[in-house]
Structure 1
Amino acid sequence: MMLYSFQELLLLAAAAIVIDWIVGDPKRPTHPVIWIGRLIRLLERVLAPERRKDCTAAVRLLGVILTAITLCISYGVMWSMVWAADAVHVWLGYAVSAWFISTTIAVKGLKEAAMLVYTPLSEGRLAEARKFVGFIVGRDTGKLDAREASRAAVETVAENIVDALVSPVIFALIGGAPLAMLYRAANTLDSMVGYRNDTYRYFGWCSARIDDVLNYIPARLTGVMLTMAVLASPGMKAGRAVHAMFVFARLHPSPNSGIPESAVAGALGIELGGTNVYFGVPGERARMGWPLRRLQPFDIVRTIRLLYGVSFIMFSGVMAVWLVII
C-alpha cells in the first residue's frame, strides 16, 4: 500500500538529496546499512555455514532465501516505521521518510572518502593514501603508486554514482523510503555475498543478479545525466564521454558499472581499468577510455565534481517535475 502520493514522494526525494548534501551519512553504529549487514551475516551463518562453496541446487536455493528474507525484512521494517510515524503526525512521517531516504544516498560520504585519498596524494604522502584507498576498494593497495591509487578512487566514485545516488533516488520516487531501503539492502547483499569467487559463486548468485537487475535502468539514466554534467564542466568532453560509453561500457564485467566508468574516462581523457591485485593474485580489468594524458590525483576532484553535477541535475529534475504537476 502506497503511503504517499507521487507529489509527496518528489518532495521527499528532493529533501533527502539536500539532507545528504548537508549532513551526509549518519554515524556508523546507527546507519541502516550496518544493521542490514548484520542481518545478512546472521542469515548467512544460519543458512549456509559450511556449504557455501558447493555447486548444488540446494546452495543456490539457500542464496535465494537469503536474498528474499533480507529484502522483505528491510522493506517491512522501513514501511512499518514510516507508517507509525505518519500515524502520529503527517509531518513526522515526512521527516522520517526524508531522513531514511537520505541514508540510502551517499554523495557527501563518497566525496569525503575520495578526498581522504586525494589530500595525502596531492601532498606526496603515498603510504597514507594507500591506507585510505583500502577503505573503498577490495583490491590489494600495499604497492600502489600515485597513479594507481588515483585510478582506484576515480573508479570508485564513478561506479558509485549509480549505487549511491541515482538508483536510491529513483526507487524513492517509486515507493518512498521502504523501496529505497529495499534497494540499499540489495546493494549491500551484492557487496557482501555477490562475489564470483569460490566462497560465494553459487550461494551469492541471486544477490548479484538482483543488484544487476535493479541497477539496469538507473545506470543508463546515469549515462545521460553524466553527459549533461560534462557539458557544464569546463575542460571535459561530452562527445568523447558518449563515444566511450558506446565503445567500452560493454567490456566491463558488470552490465551497469561500465557505463559511468567509461563515461568519466572519456570525459577526462584518461584510461581506467587495468591490472588489479586481489589477495596477491593479479587480474586484468577491462580498460576503458583513451589514455590521452596520464591519470593524476586531481582527476579524483574532477570526478567528484561530476558526481555533484549529477546530484544537482537529479534535484533540479525532481523539483521541475513537482512544479509541473502541482
Structure 2
Amino acid sequence: MIYHLTAFIAGFILDLFLGDPIGWPHPIRWIGSMIGSLSDSFLKRADRSLDIETIPRRKRIMGVWLVVIVITVTAATSFLILHFAYTVYSFLGVIIESVMTYYCLAAKSLWVESMKVSTALEKEGLQSGRSAVSMIVGRDTAELTEKGVIKAAVETVAENTSDGVIAPMIYLVIGGPVLGLVYKAINTMDSMVGYKNDKYMDFGKAAAKLDDVVNYIPSRLSAILMIVSCLFLGHNYSAIYAFKIFRRDRYNHASPNSAQTESACAGALGLRLAGPASYFGKIVDKKYIGDSVRNIELADIKRANILMVATAALCELICAAIMVLIVL
C-alpha cells in the first residue's frame, strides 16, 4: 500500500506541474483512437441491415459491444503493464504507477485550456475568445457574446472538476490506475458517442448510461468538496451560498450529474450559469443554475480554476489520509 500511496501523491504532483504537453504520448488519446475506429466499424455494420426497423436495435447492441471491448482492453492492458513493472522491480512499479496516475488526472490541463480563453478575450478580442472556448465546449460558439464565452469557460471548469479530477482520484484510490483508466475510458466513450443525435442516439446509449452510473457518487462528492473548499479561499467565494444553490439547482440539467458541481460553483461565485444554448444549430432550452448576484466578468474564469485546484487539493489530502490509515 505504501507504494500505491507514493504513486498516488506523485501522480497528482506530476499533473499539477506538467499537465498535458502537446506532442507527448497519452493513453487517453490511444483509447480515443480505439473508440473512434470501433465506432466507425460498428456503425457501418449496423447501417448495412436490410431491415430498416432493426437498425436502432442493432446500434444499441453494437454500442454495448463497444463498451465491453473498450473496458476489457483498457483494464487488461493497464493491469499487465503495471503487474510486469512491479514484477521486475518495485521501484519501477512505483514509477510506472505514478505516470499512469498522472495520465488519469487533468487539473493542469483544465486550467491551461480554460485560461487560454481568458487570455484570448483579454488580448485578442471576442472572435479569438470564441475560437478558444470552442476547443473545450460542445456548444456552438460563433454567436456567443463576451459574457457568453466567459460563462461557457466557467461551466466547463465547474463540470470537469468532477469528470477530470475528483472522479478519477476516487477510482484511483479504490482500484489504482487500472480502475482509474477504466473510468477515463468510460468518460471518453461518453464524450465521443454519447450524443443525442441521429447518429449516436442508439449506439451511444450504453456508454452514456454507464457514464451516468460511474459519475453518480463522484459528482456529488465533488460538489461537497467544492463547497468546503470555499471556506479556505477568502471573500470571493461563499460556502453558504454554494451550499444553498447546490441544494436548489443540482438537478437543473438533463444529466443527473453535470449540475452537481456547476451549481456549487455558481453559488460559490455568485453567478447564474447554464440556460439556453445552441448545439449543432439548434437551441436547447436548458434550465438556469444559480442567481445573478453580480455580473459575470473575465476574472471569473480564474476564480473557477482556483476553486477547482483547491477542491482537487482537498480531495488529494483526504484520499491520501485514507490510504495512510489503511497502511497503519
Number of the residue aligned with 1:77:
77
My pick for the range that moved more, 155-164 or 81-90, is 81-90
Partner-residue secondary structure (3-state), 1:123: helix
Cα distance between partner residues in 1 of 2:90 and 2:21: 23
- Residues 45-86 of structure 1: per-residue CA shift (max 9 Å, x gap): 222226369663322111100011001101111111111111
Alignment of 1:309-320 (within 5 A): 309-320=310-321
* Count of residue pairs brought into register by the alignment: 321
Number of the residue aligned with 2:290:
289
Partner-residue secondary structure (3-state), 1:30: coil
- Residues 257-305 of structure 1: per-residue CA shift (max 9 Å, x gap): 1010010001111100122112222222220001111111111010000
Contact 2:6 2:94 survives alignment (8 Å) = no
Number of the residue aligned with 1:101:
101
Matched letter for residue 102 of structure 2: S
Number of the residue aligned with 2:174:
174
Structure-2-length-normalised TM-score: 0.94
Q: Is 1:266 paired with 2:267?
A: yes
Cα distance between partner residues in 2 of 1:161 and 1:279: 25
Cα distance between partner residues in 2 of 1:313 and 1:45: 41
Distance 1:323 1:174, change over 3 A: closer
Distance 1:234 1:90, change over 3 A: same
Contact 1:227 1:242 survives alignment (8 Å) = yes
CA-based RMSD of the aligned residues comes to 1.6
4+ long deviations beyond 6 Å: none
Cα distance between partner residues in 2 of 1:29 and 1:89: 25
Cα distance between partner residues in 2 of 1:214 and 1:115: 28
Number of the residue aligned with 1:213:
213
Matched letter for residue 80 of structure 1: L
- Residues 211-235 of structure 1: per-residue CA shift (max 9 Å, x gap): 1111111111101110111111212
Structure-1-length-normalised TM-score: 0.94
Cα distance between partner residues in 2 of 1:295 and 1:282: 22
Number of the residue aligned with 1:303:
304
Number of the residue aligned with 1:37:
32
Q: Is 1:150 paired with 2:163?
A: no
Number of the residue aligned with 1:243:
244
My pick for the range that moved more, 79-88 or 153-162, is 79-88
Structure 1 unaligned runs (5+)?
Answer: none
Contact 2:266 2:273 survives alignment (8 Å) = yes
Percent of paired sites with the same residue: 34
Structure 2 unaligned runs (5+)?
Answer: none
- Residues 126-183 of structure 1: per-residue CA shift (max 9 Å, x gap): 1111111010011111121110000010000000011111111111111111111101
Partner-residue secondary structure (3-state), 1:84: helix
Cα distance between partner residues in 2 of 1:161 and 1:301: 14
